Amino acid sequence: MSQKQQVAIELKNIIKEFPGRGGEAGMRAVDNVSMEIYEGEFFAMLGPSGCGKTTTLRMIAGFEEPSSGEILLRGKPVQGVPPFHRPVNTVFQDYALFPHMTVLQNVMFGLEMEGVPRAEAEKRAKEALDLVRLTQFDRKPRQLSGGQQQRVALARALVKRPAVLLLDEPLGALDLKLRKAMQYELMSMQHQLGITFVYVTHDQEEALTMCDRIAVMDHGVVLQVGSPEEIYETPRTRFVADFIGETNFVEGRYSTFRDLCALVNLGADTVIEAVLPEGDHLQEGQQVTVAVRPEKISLLPGNGSMEATSVEAAEVLQAVKSEKDKTFVPGVITFSNYIGTDTRYTVRIGEKTDLVVRIQNFGSRYDTRFENGDKVMVFWATENARVLTE
């Protein structure tokens, strides 16, 4: 996302504190958050329950006021501006539909409250419902499925043509299959409309799938903002690496630095390589953590044989050994589990380090299957492992 794009939402040093009860200390729900969200961007705030993401969204919407700091919408401060005078609309997890109104009446309601003539309101409401592919105008919410109610809530939010659409875990109440279908519909809708979507979720896959950029939050603090690829491939902290996907955390002691790579000693003459983030400095012997994803690791037979595959072992081993920046260490399979798309292994390396490794299943012609107790060689490219100092 280009930094030259126009900023739709800017948060400057936002703090939100809720007072305690009965003499108890207050709670800081959002702690000095600053970030920019661009026009036309699909932006996610991602984190566990209680991380401050929904409180931040509610402050943008105007349902909560910051204790300190400033919020700007399209460059204009909005402190004290009520929600109905802000150029935003919100879709809630519980949809908040009026049960006594029809689908069409629910979508028209906001326009009628603004004094839009009934004919114009009905025309715009039908256009919004057509956008979300819902044509059952005369039904009541109780007569709709969860997915249909979600579409009504979206249409009601979009009918007012907001500059920004705020979505607070809107797919949380849907079953898995419908949730995945709605993810792609939201992406298509956002692309078609070109308006800014700000999406709150605790679902990592949802954020990675749909969004242009993600802000990962914990305990009221934004830990990292970046594209899905940046967040997944180059996490800055252990929390981000652990929260997004599955990660091995390997504990060892920093040995030395070679060719922009950190060498980490695991004991038992086992040394692995990892990228040291720019600006980080380590002392020899310092305890460090290396993060490496299970799918980034490859396994080769430790005895040099490559049964059940058409590729010669010597050629594979030679190709791996010719890699310049790599980890290539012996290991032993301690657990294997076939799970369809891939096989999940636990491999012991060094003195007491267990790695989870996921090998995609391509078929018997190409796959080498390992059993418990098999000796293997464990390989990964250095660029796929990172030293974490936070």
Please report the sign of the dihedral spanned by the C-alpha atoms of residue 249, residue 389, residue 239, residue 7. negative
Task: Compute the distance between CA of residue 383 and CA of residue 44 in angstroms, rounded to an integer.
Answer: 27
Do residues 291 and 386 make contact, with C-beta atoms less than 8 angstroms apart? Answer: yes
Phi-psi region of 111 (alpha: psi -120 to 50; beta: other; left: phi over 0): alpha
Burial class (CB within 10 angstroms; exposed 0-12, middle 13-18, buried 19+) of 230: middle
103-to-98, 152, 175, 250, 294 alpha-carbon distances in Å: 9, 7, 22, 54, 47
Q: Give me the CATH code for the 248-388 domain, please.
A: 2.40.50.140
Do residues 86 and 73 make contact, with C-beta atoms less than 8 angstroms apart? Answer: yes
Q: Which residues contact 245 (CB under 8 A, 6 or more apart)?
A: 204, 232, 293
Do residues 125 and 159 make contact, with C-beta atoms less than 8 angstroms apart? Answer: yes
C-alpha angle with apex 238: 235 to 240, nearest 5 degrees? 50
The token pair that represents 249 in the structure block = 């955390």
Q: What is the pTM of this model?
A: 0.85
Which CATH fold would you assign to the domain 7-242?
A: Rossmann fold (3.40.50)
Where are the CATH 2.40.50.140 domain residues in the chain?
248-388
Where are the CATH 3.40.50.300 domain residues in the chain?
7-242
pLDDT score recorded for residue 95: 77
Q: Which of 253, 285, 247, 282 has its CA nearest to residue 266? A: 253
Question: What residue ranges in the chain does DSSP mark as E strands?
Answer: 7-18, 27-38, 42-46, 68-73, 76-77, 88-91, 164-168, 196-201, 213-218, 221-226, 248-258, 261-267, 270-275, 287-292, 298-301, 326-338, 342-349, 353-360, 375-381, 385-388
Do residues 253 and 265 make contact, with C-beta atoms less than 8 angstroms apart? Answer: yes
169-to-47, 90, 95, 173, 196 alpha-carbon distances in Å: 11, 11, 10, 9, 16
Q: Which residues contact 118 (CB under 8 A, 6 or more apart)?
A: 108, 112
Q: Give me the tens of pLDDT residue by residue for the chain, a chain 390 residues long.
A: 444 689 999 999 999 999 877 667 679 999 999 999 999 999 999 999 999 999 999 999 999 999 999 999 999 999 999 998 899 998 887 778 888 999 999 999 988 888 889 999 999 998 888 888 888 788 898 888 888 888 888 888 888 888 999 999 888 777 788 788 888 888 988 898 899 999 999 999 999 999 999 999 999 999 999 999 999 999 999 999 999 989 999 999 988 887 778 899 988 788 999 988 876 778 888 899 999 999 999 998 876 544 444 455 566 666 666 677 788 999 999 999 999 889 999 999 988 899 999 998 877 655 678 889 999 999 999 999 999 887
pLDDT score recorded for residue 306: 47
The token pair that represents 387 in the structure block = 């030293």
